[in-house]
Chain A
Amino acid sequence: MSQQTLIEMKGISKSFVGNKVLNEVNFEILASEVHALLGENGAGKSTLMKILTGIYERDEGEVFVKGEPVHFQNTKESEEAGIAVIHQELNIIPYLTVMENMFLGREIKFGKTGFLNTKKMIQLTKEYLGQLGVEIDPLATAGNLSVGQQQMVEIAKALSVNAEVIVMDEPTAALTDREIERLFEVIERLREQGVGIVYISHRMEEIFKVCNRVSVLRDGEYIGTRVIGEVEYDELISMLVGRELGTLFPERDVDVGDVRLKVEGLTSDVFRDINFEVKQGEILGVAGLMGAGRSEIMQALFGYREIESGNIFIDGKKAKIKKPIDAIKSGIGFVTEDRKEEGLVLSMSVRENFTLPNLDDVSKQTVISSQKEHEFVDDMIGRFNVKTSGREQEVKSLSGGNQQKIVIGKWLGINPKILILDEPTRGVDVGAKKEIYQIMNELTAQGVSIIMISSELPEVLGMSDRILVIHEGQIGGELNRDEADQEKIMYAATGGE
């Protein structure tokens, strides 16, 4: 390769309170390269990037920018050296315009007067956005843009400070399929312009689609770098987890029973005439594009969204569900898509989160019995293999996979008949994914019915007994496990007949 080396990190080590989180890690970024950084949660990806951008100080090792040794003390210094980071949580101020966001903190003025040169800034905003091939009005209010558009604004902002290296942390996590396509086009364009991109993602397909090389970290160790096109999917997986994972999806061997849930003609402002059934012990996969109304249907089923008409029957009896508490009393548990916003109380402990929906069961009258609560929580921690320092640990400090186990586990206290899982493995590493699938299998073996919304087609295909495809607020198709494949699902999801 004759491309210029933009960044070289050599033998980087870092410890926190005696705990080694990076051990002699190497990483390099070339010009015109999209370099994936792959690793399970806690593997050290973000620590490495924080060392690169000067947020953390390294204990050992060297960093070179275009051959020059550097030692950044803060992000300002790394930005000046041409390194920009697009965080998963975007740094957009929603009430300001696109242009105001672009030039925040470095507004262009008329000389030293303090008066803003708005015209110039609008023109430059257009230029930078134009370089990405996107059209966004510089005077649009940033908060009104889609997440994908906001991300484009951040990328344009990076260009405007002459960034030569752009680190993208899980850039597709919140994007729709169409926006992801758009992002990939922009990445390609940036690559052609000579920018080096660090692409952090869990999604293996994306890495194969958009990246040139991939470096793998595991438990703070540098495992290796491979060229995409010369590496097999299975090899990457085993580098990632350090063992042969076997098949990701466990064998499903469940006797499906009688109809447990029947939904008739469910209609609201975002979906209409939804009919479906779920049987005892069955996993119903719900596929569809983002924004098709999948989550909204489930929210309505759980009493968290108003419906205009329609009926819900549980075990043949009509269920009146107006509020979440009604659904819970009917035996429905709901693992929401956004575990931090809707699933967990982050300021509370593992224990308090586990028992939140079923406090009555661990209480006498209204007084909580510590003994009962501890027994329940310890049982759950063991059953779900939650990696925690104890039941009093704040859930905030757990990894995504362990948080997700708690969000699922907290519903088992109500002995659910039906469990709705909305994107159950999003932001969860491969090891924890497999554990969650096994838990789903155990639950269905006990007769629990599961409805699983997922945007990952391999997961839908791997785990579902039946698949419901939602297209623009209506049922676009229903497929059996045997007949379903990715093409058929996408066909139904995009409105094909």
Chain B
Amino acid sequence: MRGQSLGQIMQKLGPVLGLLAIVIVLSIMSPQFLSLDNLLTMLRQVTIIALLAFGMTFVILTGGIDLSVGSTLALAGALTAGMMASGIDPILAVLLGVLAGAVMGAFNGVIIAKGKVAPFIATLATMTIFRGLTLVYTDGRPVTGFTDSQTFDLIGRGYLFGIPIPVIIMFVIFFILLLILKKTVFGRHVYAIGGNEEASILSGIKVNRVKIGVYSLTGALAALAGIILTSRLGSASPNAGFTYELDAIAAVVLGGTSLAGGRGWIFGTLIGALIIGVLNNGLNLLGVSSNYQQIVKGAVILLAVILDRQKSS
């Protein structure tokens, strides 16, 4: 019994120790790495993946997966940019953009919950559909011509007390989601469904409703990520967020959440996203070519999962 709880502690500490190890190595190899400027830049870059990964954590906890988040990000970003370009108030456009993401997520949820389609297949299909819709909507060109709004610029480029606003948004959302998972009935139901769907139905949990909720939340968070990215870049590219779903899944797995569902925590996902962000940033600083970066990232993910396996066995 005692050994098990030690193992559980290790399970939880593992990602943090991994992040620390990477940070130490990078700070030795590159002196700029630990500068405040660089750390804030790095955090700002992490925001996008973190928001996708937060939603992905909920989805994976229910035993599902969402491959469409990258495309949702692009479509919601383009729609928001398009609305502003046609004169809609930026705040309203942002709200509608997030709502559009939630609707896309709900669409996934309905297909998966009511249509009983495997999440992998359902979101593989909508990944293509949403990307296609983005290309149709933008005619394959970046959406611009909305950059005169200072309010909108703030979302991606602003600072508050010297901290980038995207980073503040990320942490606020993180704490809200942490509370939802730990403290609310909805959060408990998310874990229960991933742990045993049958027992959840028989305990009176409205499993379909929870699933649709989870995918909607993920869609909304992906849209928010798309809006932040659009604001930062000053344009919405139809190719934005391409393959980001894989980084998001990697962050969740690095954080120690089980792909089988039912077990995991969102703090781990934050750490997982930071690991990916730190690696990207550090390797850039070191001047490693982006081709090699991919190999390093893949190797780190493999290493993390193998270490995790050995701890639990």
Contacts and interface: CB of A to CB of B under 8 A. Distances in A.
Given A366-B185, A368-B185, A389-B1, A345 B195 contact: yes
A276 to B, nearest CB: 22
Interface in B1-35: 1-4
Interface in B38-64: none
B89 interface: no
Interface in B111-135: none
A75 B196 CA distance: 32
A105 to B, nearest CB: 22
Nearest to A392: B5
B262 A324 contact: no
A445 interface: no
Contacts of A343: 199, 202
Contact of B196 (A346, A357, A366): A346
19 contacts: A17-B1, A304-B201, A304-B202, A324-B204, A328-B204, A341-B198, A342-B198, A343-B202, A345-B195, A345-B262, A346-B196, A347-B194, A348-B191, A348-B192, A348-B262, A357-B203, A363-B185, A389-B1, A410-B203
A334 B202 contact: yes
B232 interface: no
B178 to A, nearest CB: 13
A360 interface: yes
A357 B184 contact: no
Given A17-B3, A357-B204, 11 more contacts: A304-B202, A345-B195, A345-B196, A347-B194, A356-B188, A356-B199, A357-B203, A363-B184, A363-B185, A367-B184, A368-B183
Nearest to B8: A394
A321 to B, nearest CB: 12
B239 interface: no
A343 B198 CA distance: 8
B305 interface: no
B304 interface: no
Interface in A337-376: 341-348, 352, 356-357, 359-360, 363, 366-368
A84 B194 CA distance: 36
A457 B186 CA distance: 42
B263 interface: yes
A160 B222 CA distance: 58
Contacts of A140: none
B169 interface: no
B200 A345 contact: yes
B202 A347 contact: no
B210 interface: no
B206 A347 contact: no
Given A325-B206, A352-B191, A389-B1, A367 B200 contact: no
Contact of A356 (B1, B184, B205): B205
Nearest to A393: B1
Contacts of A359: 185, 188-189
Nearest to B1: A389
B263 A367 contact: no
A343 B197 CA distance: 10
A363 B188 CA distance: 12
Contacts of A357: 203-204
Interface residues of A, number: 30
A295 interface: no
Contacts, number: 80
A356 B200 contact: yes
B186 A366 contact: yes
A360 B263 CA distance: 22
B263 to A, nearest CB: 5
Interface of A: 17, 302, 304, 324-325, 327-329, 334, 336, 341-348, 352, 356-357, 359-360, 363, 366-368, 389, 397, 410
Contacts of A324: 201-204
A389 B4 CA distance: 13
Interface string B172-191: 00000000000111101101
A324 B201 CA distance: 7
Interface string B146-181: 000000000000000000000000000000000000
Contacts of A347: 191, 194-196, 262-263
Interface centre among B183, B198, B202, B205 (most CB of A within 10 A): B202
Given A342-B198, A344-B199, A345-B192, A367 B183 contact: yes
Contacts of B191: 345, 347-348, 352
Nearest to A407: B199
Contact of A342 (B186, B192, B202): B202
A366 B191 CA distance: 16
B3 A360 contact: no
Interface string B204-226: 11100000000000000000000
Contacts of B186: 366
Contacts of B199: 341-345, 356
Question: A-B pairs with the 10 shortest C-beta distances?
Answer: A345-B195, A328-B204, A347-B195, A347-B262, A357-B203, A325-B204, A345-B196, A356-B203, A359-B185, A366-B185
Nearest to A336: B202
Given A345-B195, A346-B195, A352 B188 contact: yes
A31 to B, nearest CB: 39
A279 to B, nearest CB: 25
A251 B198 CA distance: 36
Nearest to A360: B185
Interface string B98-114: 00000000000000000
A356 B206 CA distance: 12
A357 to B, nearest CB: 4
Contact of B184 (A344, A352, A366): A366
A249 B205 CA distance: 35
Contacts of A410: 203
Contacts of A352: 188, 191-192
Contacts of A304: 201-202
A359 B183 CA distance: 11
Interface centre among B3, B4, B205 (most CB of A within 10 A): B205
A328 B201 CA distance: 11
Nearest to A334: B202
Nearest to A327: B204
B203 A368 contact: no
Contacts of B189: 359
A294 B136 CA distance: 57
